[in-house]
Amino acid sequence: MQTATSGACVEMVAKPQDDVITSEAAIILLLFSATAASLLLVNKLVMFYIPLPSFVSTLQFVVTAIFSYGWMLSGNAPVETWEWKKVKAYLYYTGMFVGSIYTNMKALQHANVETIIVFRSCCPLVVAIIEWGFMDRQLPSPSSWLALLVLVGGCAGYVFTDRAFVINGFGAYTWVTAYFMILSVEMAYGKHIVGPHLNFASMWGPTLYTNAISTPVMLSIGLLTDEPSRLVRVVWTPWVCALLLLSCVIGVAISFLGWKSRQTVTASCYTVVGVANKMATVLANVLIWDQHASAPGILFLMLCLAGAVGYQQPPKADEATAASQRPKRIALACTGVLCLIGAVVVLGLSSGNSRSLPPARAPSLPPSSQVRHSGGHTHRTGAALSAPDETSECL
């Protein structure tokens, strides 16, 4: 189900100058969605036996980095050299990735996962404006704006129907808003760093860079959360080792396919795919395991997927026109993003449930087991929190 949805985000880009639907682009997104769903399932199983998300993520990063470099050395892809301009660009990206995980966890101390999902579903609206202001894209068509609003409305409808929009105190909006802003910028920036200006010969380059650079960061998180002392208590059966190995194999696939997807479609389309993947997973969980899901809740989830299917990425703007209007575009884009974020927060304040959440346990980083970049980042393990969502979309 998850596969079908993300593949439906239309108008893929085969070449930077052409906005055409290609079978190659559709296949890439379908494979990306399939690996994202598979990694989520496998990581949940891995977390059951090895409840050490930083250790598992670090191992997946290391395996992916080694495989990427070995794939290049074997002649299957051009060998990428380490250049400071590339390292610097991916350091920024990794910084935003870590920032999105941290703010996600802080937000989850005051709000529930369903509340975060609603804010997350608004990211494509912001990314579309950023693309117009900074990346020389046209604004989405009226029908695409409508599709994005349907996507957001479906997410919100599901939360208010079957779950609860819970946020504890106005201060919580600081973290939720910070997460919302960082993730939106990260999605747009991820598209920027697969552009021709960095001269990557293939998407194995970004795969190598992100996983290699993220390894020491994730390893440090594991050391700070005292995972080594818990690692010695893990029972290493052949089944557990096989699951861990399988998660690493899928991690390699999702990392490469994530960056390849990012190169193939616009940042806003990629963000829509991420939201659709998330909601398709929720729908599958509801249909298979949640015995109390209501018919309206299921309909709202299907409405989310319909919105994702209806979105069409905007074409490139005329270069001369975009260049002459760039200062104006940037100013208007910044204003539009701030207004949109303000509107989302105000709607949240007016709709939020002020009841207190139960005392939050200090979560271990990263929040979820799904810690992989899905398209550059990587969707990873599925613990209780939802940050790995971003991880999957990152490495």
Q: What is the pLDDT of residues 308-331, one digit of tens each?
A: 878 888 887 766 666 666 676 777
Judge whether 293 and 156 are in contact, CB under 8 Å: no
Residues forming beta bridges with residue 167, ordered by sequence position: 111
Judge whether 285 and 240 are in contact, CB under 8 Å: no
Number of domains in the chain: 1
The Cα 88–Cα 291 span in angstroms is 49
Residue whose token pair is 């395991």? 289
Per-residue pLDDT for 82 more than 80?
yes
Among 49, 56, 123, which residue's Cα sits nearest to residue 388? 56
Give backbone dihedrals phi and psi of 314, rounded to 5 degrees, phi first: -75, 150
Residues spanned by the domain of 278: 2-392
Per-residue pLDDT for 17 more than 50?
no
Q: What does the block give as tokens for 147?
A: 């599709």
Over residues 163-180, mean pLDDT: 69
Q: Determine which of 117-121, 186-190, 199-203, 226-230 has the lowest per-residue pLDDT on average.
A: 117-121
Per-residue pLDDT, 387: 39
pLDDT band at 376; cut points 50, 70, 90:
very low
Per-residue pLDDT, 360: 43
The pTM (predicted TM-score) of the whole model is 0.76
Tens digits of residue pLDDT in 62-75: 999 999 999 999 99
Per-residue pLDDT, 374: 40
Greater model confidence, 230 or 168: 230
Per-residue pLDDT, 382: 35
Residue type at position 215: T
pLDDT band at 275; cut points 50, 70, 90:
confident
Per-residue pLDDT for 299 more than 60?
yes
Per-residue pLDDT for 84 more than 60?
yes
Over residues 102-115, mean pLDDT: 74
Q: Determine which of 192-206, 232-246, 342-356, 372-386 has the lowest per-residue pLDDT on average.
A: 372-386
Greater model confidence, 283 or 344: 283
Per-residue pLDDT for 144 more than 60?
yes
Per-residue pLDDT, 171: 58
Over residues 114-130, mean pLDDT: 82
The Cα 18–Cα 24 span in angstroms is 14
Per-residue pLDDT for 224 more than 70?
yes
Q: What does the block give as tokens for 346?
A: 């105000």
Share of the chain above pLDDT 70, in %: 72
Greater model confidence, 101 or 1: 101
Over residues 122-144, mean pLDDT: 85
Per-residue pLDDT, 252: 96
Per-residue pLDDT for 46 more than 80?
yes
For 174, half-sphere exposure in the C-beta direction (CA atoms, 13 angstrom radius) is: 5
Per-residue pLDDT for 270 more than 60?
yes
Q: What does the block give as tokens for 208?
A: 């190598």
Over residues 271-283, mean pLDDT: 80
Per-residue pLDDT for 20 more than 70?
no
Per-residue pLDDT, 13: 36
Judge whether 39 and 254 are in contact, CB under 8 Å: yes
DSSP state of 225: T
Q: Spell out the residues 6+ positions from residue 236 whose beta carbon is closer than 8 angstroms to its own.
A: none
Per-residue pLDDT for 212 more than 90?
yes
Among 7, 19, 30, which residue's Cα sits nearest to residue 313? 19
Tens digits of residue pLDDT in 245-266: 999 999 999 999 999 999 888 8
Q: Determine which of 160-169, 271-280, 345-354 has the lowest per-residue pLDDT on average.
A: 345-354
Count of all residues that appear for the chain in the document: 395
Greater model confidence, 271 or 108: 271
What sign results for the dihedral spanned by CA atoms 277, 267, 203, 66? negative
